[in-house]
Amino acid sequence: MASLASPALVGRDTPLRLLIGALTCPPAVIQVQGEAGIGKTSLVRAAIEPLTSPDRTVLIGHCHQIREPFPYGPVFDALRHVAAALPERDLLNPVTGALRGYLPELAGHLPPAPSPPPMGDPRAERHHLFRAVHALLGAAGMVVLVVEDLHWADDGTRDLLRFLTDQPPEGLALVVTFRREELPVPGLPFGHAYRRSPGVRSEVISLTPLDVEGVRRLAGALLASPPGLAFAAKLHERTAGVPFVIEEVVRSLLDGEGRLPEPEALDRMGVPVLLREAMAERLTGLSPAALSAVRAAAVLRLPAEEPLINAVSGAPGPPLPGPVEPGRESHGGAGLSEALRAGVLREQPDGLYGFRHALAQQAVYDAVPGPDRRLTHRRAMAALAALDPPPLVQLAHHARHAGDFAAWQRHGSAAADHAAAIGDIPLAVELLEGLLADPKLPRQARGPLALRLSRVAAIGLSHRRAVRLLRHLLSDDFLSPQVRGEARLNLGVLLSNQAGAITAGRQEILAALPDLAGSPSLAARGLALLAMPVWGGEPLAMHEEWMGQAEKLLVEGQDPELSAAVLANKVSLAMLVGSPEAFELAGTLPVNDPSIAVRRQVARGYSNLYDAALALGHYAAAGRFAERSRRVADETGALYPAFLVEMSSIRLDLLTGRWDGLRERALAAVEMTYEAPLLAVEARLALGVLALARGEWDEAGEHLEAAGVRDLDSGFLPVALAGSSGLVELHLTRGALEPALAAADLAVTRLRRKGVWVWGDQLVPAAVAALLKAGRPEAAAGLVGEFAAGIDGRDAPSAHAGHDLARGALAGHAGRPEEAARSYARARAAYLAIPRPYAAARAAELEASAWLAAANRTGTPASDAAARSTPASTAAARPAPAGREPADGSERGSGRERAAGLVAEAAERYAALGATHDAARCRRLLRELGPDRPPARRSRKAGDGVLSPRESEVARLVALGRTNREIAEVLFLSQRTVDTHVARVLQKLGVRTRADVREPRPEDRPGPVTPES
């Protein structure tokens, strides 16, 4: 048969230009999608070939259809070849040392591995690992990273790529290829919607089949001269314009002299078995040894080394896995060489051999007679079993197709255990599902497998598939009561923790309790979970009853680990409700118990105590609990608690005013937990509060809604109530009284039903402001009375400070200015002591508004605009004039002077935090107070192209798509002033249109934002 010319890239000029353009303008994220055989790989190769140069590194990784549990494998395979682009080891970020165990080829180029691991938690360590990959790629300079066949990727690889796409290194161009229809989540190659970051070029290139002219040109490139139009039209009809199928058909139709037959010859080829027949025709000329090698490669499915192909083919040759002896080529080697020369198999990187495309492999595999196919699978089992370590997933695959059910069950179970042990839970679930789905599985084996499936699923992050499987299994009657009870309990844990479906999870746990009558320890575990009051709509009394039942069951169970688990929940319950003895109870946790299992429960208990202390305002104690949880988790390998502490640290930093970099951390947390949204509610709350403080109304609403404010029974209640208070504030700020009242009523109803009033520290003042704004002082006073009774005797500093705010609002509305001022001053002092700087600044504004109202009532001039400049909660409460009494009871100056001092203090505090909208509101109030106010410090003017603080604020809002009118509203400026600022921003940034303005980076500003006129 005459040889064919190498096919040119036909009909892809526009996609090729687009791809090259994106590759040469990093950072860039390029998605190349299309069906099998459409030419994705050819397009990428054509684009990167001219880019290979000393100053640009090209790295390529492949995802495989059968994968062993090695998360991030495709990326690490690619990174093995990055050494030449790396700087000296001393110049690398120390975090890259975390990759030494994954990339032994680079060990000499990387810093020492961190010791001990920073968190001892797979999620935290995963984030650490992701940062290491990010830093390594950043250090390599200009890099093109290609990940082929993303539809076959493991969850870990998708998570890593999603992390890289969020904030790509400056020199990185990431290219992923995939078949859209084969993605685990249809249409989402990264597992969720990709959102382009500012400054990152993003392209989605969709390859479609060729038209008739494209088919003709491709056939012409293969043959060195184009065929006639009639043949091209018939070829297009039979191949649907898929380039790979076209190539295979053309190759199969050539006669011995390289000539194509008449178009009618295509009619004799069936559809859709065209490619299979083409491959069969190409195989007919092969010798038996070559055919055996090709069939072995088809059965193996994955690219393989020569000794493995020889062993599976049954040909004589060197023993596996030893090398071929010098000077001697085995029959198996001769067969492989012949298959390579014929173009049926291709040599791939790293000495592997396989088919050029999965379609070709499938065509050959389907053509192998059944008995021969099963025999070849058995040979594959024997050959793979000799490897160290044996590839368990592949062994399970071959055992299943060889008809060896016992071996399939053995290898599949071992593979599932190994996958679960290294955290690849989706693969473990997939393997166990396959075993359970086989009708030949003995009935007595189904129960243990179902129980293992439930246990494995309960420790993973992915939940959708596992929930469906467990519900299906529990609907059958083959499970014994005890197995059904534990499986249902695990389903309840899965729904409650990972899925965030608290109501459904609690229903499953309650339904499991009757079946667990013979397992009191397991029943106690379920009751202890139900006893945690932060979830569900039950009142506190019900949670306390469940806790009592759990403690009684432990007397029967005599299980130290379960005893520690229940004790951890009992201590957590006491802390969550602000019980005075909570800290004494916390000291009873068996932190020094010799049992690792017991101390893992202690780590979880400290994690819960950390959350509870945050809700109460005990931030120093929270920090101590967090440190203990991390330490015990590190000692015992308790993974989940340390991760929860890391997530909750976002809320601690939000409350204590450590806002630098907080938005980026919160966004990363949301991205990492996209399948477990319950874990991200604290990050969502942080993002909502930050957006509200900066005047980003739409963003604030989106994130606050996502903090669980509408999920009446499944939301994490302390965070959901804080999110609701933010929504009330947002609606009042925008003048939407009815939505504010609705949000307040919904949240207060939840708080009242639960009965844990210490969690109302932010909600009650916001709800009181909305009620007073609506002219309902009686309802506001009633709510404050309930709040006071609910927190009486509770150890909850935040709640008592919030009570002072609410009392101040009531007093101000009722015309008792002195009382209002004293209440606000007490709240401000409490927030400063906790410390909560943002809340302290808000209290200072409220106090200042009371001084101004007092000045108005006593005849001291004060502008009406001052009252309009206060926060929404202040304006709603309308505090009456009052002579503010300092903490020491002395009088210091007039009401105007003290108000100005308080507002200037609040403005500085807001500006230091980055709360630009709040700072602008205070600056506006200071302008209204007139010339005898304390002078505000002014930032130096930037005359060298650097944005001033005010211009940075304007540029950020322009980048968010705000109009000049909206910017004026957020920053309390006139629209004419904003027009001038926008013009200066465009000039300094050197851009022509608003669409080109990006959010300013720190280096664009001359220094910290300070109050300006």
Locus of tokens 């139009």 = 229
| C-alpha span between 706 and 308 (Å, rounded) | 52
Count the alpha carbons within 13 Å of 873 in the hemisphere toward its beta carbon.
31
| C-alpha span between 776 and 807 (Å, rounded) | 15
| C-alpha span between 195 and 699 (Å, rounded) | 15
Centre a 10 Å sphere on the Cβ of residue 823 and count the other Cβ atoms it contains: 27
Q: Kindly state the DSSP code that residue 959 receives in the 8-state scheme.
A: H
Centre a 10 Å sphere on the Cβ of residue 229 and count the other Cβ atoms it contains: 12
The closest alpha carbon to 664, from 636, 639, 641, 687, belongs to: 687
| C-alpha span between 212 and 210 (Å, rounded) | 7
Parallel, antiparallel or unpaired: strands 352-354 and 346-348: antiparallel
| C-alpha span between 997 and 429 (Å, rounded) | 47
Start-to-end CA span in the chain (Å):
85
Helix 797-813 and helix 837-857, axial crossing angle in degrees, nearest 10: 20
Parallel, antiparallel or unpaired: strands 142-148 and 56-62: parallel
Q: For position 769, what pLDDT does the model report?
A: 96
Q: Kindly state the DSSP code that residue 53 receives in the 8-state scheme.
A: B
According to DSSP, the residues that pair with 57 across neighbouring strands are 143
| C-alpha span between 225 and 755 (Å, rounded) | 83
Count the alpha carbons within 13 Å of 898 in the hemisphere toward its beta carbon.
26
Kindly tell me the sign of the dihedral angle through the C-alpha atoms of 382, 383, 388, 394: negative
Centre a 10 Å sphere on the Cβ of residue 41 and count the other Cβ atoms it contains: 19
| CB burial readout 117-143, b (16+ within 10 A) else e | ebbbbbbbbbbbbbbbbbbbbbbbbbb
Q: For position 1010, what pLDDT does the model report?
A: 39
| C-alpha span between 94 and 114 (Å, rounded) | 8
- Write out residues in the chain with pLDDT < 50, as ranges: 1-6, 116-121, 269-272, 319-330, 860-869, 874-892, 932-944, 1002-1013
Give pLDDT tens digits for 707-750. 888 876 667 899 999 999 999 999 999 999 999 999 999 999 99
CA distances from 897 to 851, 884, 887, 908 (A): 9, 11, 17, 17
Kindly tell me the sign of the dihedral angle through the C-alpha atoms of 396, 401, 402, 403: positive
Q: What are phi and psi of 906, to 5 degrees?
A: -65, -40
The closest alpha carbon to 204, from 30, 367, 384, 21, belongs to: 30
Locus of tokens 């070709």 = 360
| C-alpha span between 874 and 297 (Å, rounded) | 75
Query: Does the pTM exceed 0.95?
Result: no
Centre a 10 Å sphere on the Cβ of residue 744 and count the other Cβ atoms it contains: 26
The closest alpha carbon to 119, from 666, 644, 682, 664, belongs to: 644
Q: For position 197, what pLDDT does the model report?
A: 77
The closest alpha carbon to 634, from 677, 593, 602, belongs to: 602
